[in-house]
Chain A
Amino acid sequence: MIIEAHGLRKTFHAKRGRGKTEEVEAVRGIDLEVQKGEIFAALGPNGAGKTTTVRMLATFIAPTAGTARVAGFDVVKEAAKVRENIGYVSQAGGVDENNPGIDQLLLAGRIAGLSKKQALARADELLAAFSLTEIARRPARTLSGGQKRRFSIALGLVTAPPLVFLDEPTTGLDPQNRANLWDEVRALRDRGTSVLLTTHYLDEADALCDRLVIIDHGTVVAEGTPSSLKKEVAGDVVTLKLKGVDEAAEVLRAQSYVKEVRTEEGLLRAYLDDGEHGLPHLLRVLEERDLTLESISLDRATLDDVFLRHTGRSLRDAA
């Protein structure tokens, strides 16, 4: 177990006007277990408490309550030991715009205790791995968003840590750079590095991670592998647009092949284990009741359906 967290809580005291403070419960009791060598994702909407959780695990802030061991060390009592064993890539990136990437890699290596020669060798290795050798000596402000992001990840890997935290690693990247970054994260795992990443992209969590937790309002609402979580919901989702949503929902709930029905403003989602076979039955039942459809679609269940099931709202709508 590379991360073991129990009942992590973080309450901030935000100043609101004169002398008034407001308590913000960013994280309200999170349990996490991340195995060695896996890519683990924390999926949730913005403001769910993902970043705060990662910051606590990376020793940047101390938890208000709860305990966590990272790489075998307590994040509060043995913070220095934790820092020797992690790489941390914040959402902001942490790349110094005024200086060339190579200088930053060398400094990061030296402060971690490498000799000049070792730091240089390690920097060369990382520059090559992330195709940054050509632009290593350019001031970072002249680099593109994707290049900067690669530098920020390289900076987190200088000490070849057994565990890397990636906070929203692909936010703001174009699809091409995103796909490349996914490959780089997979390559990390293939070399034995454990990865904890946060994301609010469903497809990213689905495609990239071995296991995930879904976080909402500072708590874990679901945990598992992407496929097991989706299986919990159903294999397929039929989304219908029609008048008389409530009547249709009532009818479909009575059907044995429909696992679950959810409605929202003129939309109806029916969860079926076997959509291809269930769909003809479903259509026939609706026709018998004279319920006319405006549109229909059949999709594989996604993590959004998992999110919807556990929180009652879609991740796309969640703020």
Chain B
Amino acid sequence: MIRQTSLFLGYELRFLLRNPVWPLFGIMQPVLYLLFFAPLLGRTTASGSMPEVLAMFTPGSMMMIALFGSLFAGFGMINETRNGVLERLAVSPAWPPAIILGRVAKDMLVLVIQAILVMGVAMLMGLRIGLPAFLIMLLLMAVTGLFAASLSYGLALAIKDENGVSQLVQFFAMPLTLIAGLFLPVSLGPDWLQTLARFNPLYYGVEAGRSLFRGDLGDSTIPIAFALLIGLALITMVWSMRSLRRLAS
């Protein structure tokens, strides 16, 4: 099983290494936000210092890559439902879940690397975080990527239509972004918004990131975020594997 998954992962990574430019485009959006939007946020934090602003803003900008990058991972697979690649793999001796797992693992890896780059930029701008917080944040991004990519493959295999999937992802991405407090913490807002945010798994991801970047490793949002995202990742992964099995009908 692990062998099969790593074979598919290897195949995907070889493609990535031949075309390494695209994931770099993916981090442009959060980096631009860090450079041009974060400086506007001085008044939203207690001291208004740049490191404090970055600790608040960087986790949100990292979630942005997951939302606007990993959620589109399934796009390539829509074509594969038509060109016979998935059909061929489905009747090959391959262990079927590996077809999805290998791709999800690649997307997870891409997201982690993108996250490292974004954190690197934030650090150059003055963000200061400890090594444990840095590593836990990477883990958090990994499970976020796992969830977002599996969801994307599930959508791709269920809908099998580029237009449908892109509209659907856009439709969900914007409200999820706003209600998660990606740009500004929802704690600045009214009660109803804060209540609403509690139903958004991304909210916990962003809040967990902020706690980590504040150095508050014991905060309750961190285990909640991990539990939620891992749970959702498992559900969406099973869903996408089932969709793969139902490909023919």
Q: Give A contacts to B, CB under 8 Å.
A: 12-13, 55, 58-61, 80, 83-84, 86, 88-99, 103, 107-108, 110-113, 152, 155-156, 159
Bound CA–CA A60/B93 (angstroms):
12
Residue pairs across A and B with Cβ atoms less than 8 A apart, 13 shown, are A83-B91, A88-B88, A94-B83, A94-B87, A97-B83, A103-B14, A107-B7, A111-B93, A111-B94, A112-B92, A152-B84, A155-B88, A156-B88
The answer, yes or no, to whether B45 is at the interface (CB within 8 Å) is no
Contacts of B88 in A (CB 8 A): 88-90, 94, 155-156
When the two chains form their complex, are residues B82 and A92 in contact, meaning their CB atoms are under 8 A apart? yes
Decide yes or no: A96 and B80 within 8 Å by CB, A60-B87, A107-B11, A111-B4 being known contacts: yes
The answer, yes or no, to whether B124 is at the interface (CB within 8 Å) is no
Contacts of A111 in B (CB 8 A): 4, 7-8, 89, 92-95, 98
Contacts of A89 in B (CB 8 A): 88
Bound CA–CA A89/B85 (angstroms):
10
Contacts of B79 in A (CB 8 A): 97
Contacts of A83 in B (CB 8 A): 91-93
Bound CA–CA A159/B95 (angstroms):
16
Contacts of B95 in A (CB 8 A): 111
When the two chains form their complex, are residues B87 and A12 in contact, meaning their CB atoms are under 8 A apart? no
Bound CA–CA A92/B95 (angstroms):
22
Q: Nearest chain-A residue to B10 (Cβ)? A: A107
Q: Shortest distance in angstroms between A66's beta carbon and chain B's nearest beta carbon?
A: 17
Contacts of B89 in A (CB 8 A): 94, 111
The answer, yes or no, to whether B167 is at the interface (CB within 8 Å) is no
Q: Shortest distance in angstroms between B207's beta carbon and chain A's nearest beta carbon?
A: 38
Contact residues of B between 1 and 42, Cβ < 8 Å to A: 4, 7-8, 11, 14-15
Contacts of A99 in B (CB 8 A): 11, 14-15
Q: Shortest distance in angstroms between B96's beta carbon and chain A's nearest beta carbon?
A: 10
Contacts of A84 in B (CB 8 A): 93
Bound CA–CA A92/B84 (angstroms):
5
When the two chains form their complex, are residues B87 and A61 in contact, meaning their CB atoms are under 8 A apart? no
Decide yes or no: A80 and B83 within 8 Å by CB, A103-B11, A107-B11 being known contacts: no
When the two chains form their complex, are residues A60 and B8 in contact, meaning their CB atoms are under 8 A apart? no
Q: How large is the interface on B (under 10, 10 to 19, 20 to 34, 35 or more residues)?
A: 20 to 34
Question: Contact check: which of A13, A110, A156 meets B7 at CB < 8 Å?
Answer: A110
Main secondary structure of the interface of B (DSSP, over half): helix
The answer, yes or no, to whether B169 is at the interface (CB within 8 Å) is no
Contacts of B85 in A (CB 8 A): 94-96
Among B8, B85, B249, the most chain A Cβ lie within 10 Å of the Cβ of: B85
The answer, yes or no, to whether B46 is at the interface (CB within 8 Å) is no
Q: Nearest chain-A residue to B76 (Cβ)? A: A98
When the two chains form their complex, are residues A58 and B93 in contact, meaning their CB atoms are under 8 A apart? no
Decide yes or no: A60 and B94 within 8 Å by CB, A55-B248, A91-B84, A92-B83 being known contacts: no
Q: Shortest distance in angstroms between A73's beta carbon and chain B's nearest beta carbon?
A: 13
Decide yes or no: A60 and B15 within 8 Å by CB, A55-B248, A92-B84 being known contacts: no
Bound CA–CA A90/B85 (angstroms):
9
Contacts of B15 in A (CB 8 A): 98-99, 103
Q: Nearest chain-B residue to A99 (Cβ)? A: B15
Contacts of B94 in A (CB 8 A): 111-112
Contacts of B90 in A (CB 8 A): 60
Decide yes or no: A58 and B91 within 8 Å by CB, A93-B84, A96-B85 being known contacts: yes
Contacts of B98 in A (CB 8 A): 111
Given contacts A60-B91, A88-B88, A89-B88, 20 further A-B contacts (CB under 8 A): A55-B248, A60-B90, A83-B91, A84-B93, A92-B82, A93-B83, A94-B83, A94-B85, A95-B84, A96-B80, A96-B83, A97-B83, A103-B15, A110-B7, A111-B4, A111-B92, A111-B93, A112-B93, A113-B93, A155-B88
When the two chains form their complex, are residues A12 and B249 in contact, meaning their CB atoms are under 8 A apart? yes
Among B88, B93, B249, the most chain A Cβ lie within 10 Å of the Cβ of: B88
Q: Nearest chain-A residue to B246 (Cβ)? A: A61
Contacts of B92 in A (CB 8 A): 83, 88, 108, 111-112
The digit string for B42-79, where 1 denotes a CB below 8 A from any CB of A, is: 00000000000000000000000000000000001001
Bound CA–CA A107/B93 (angstroms):
11
Among A80, A110, A113, the most chain B Cβ lie within 10 Å of the Cβ of: A110
Q: Shortest distance in angstroms between A31's beta carbon and chain B's nearest beta carbon?
A: 22
Q: Nearest chain-A residue to B79 (Cβ)? A: A97
Contacts of A59 in B (CB 8 A): 91
Q: Nearest chain-B residue to A88 (Cβ)? A: B91
Q: Shortest distance in angstroms between B249's beta carbon and chain A's nearest beta carbon?
A: 7
Contacts of B4 in A (CB 8 A): 111
Question: Contact check: which of A92, A96, A103 meets B87 at CB < 8 Å?
Answer: A92
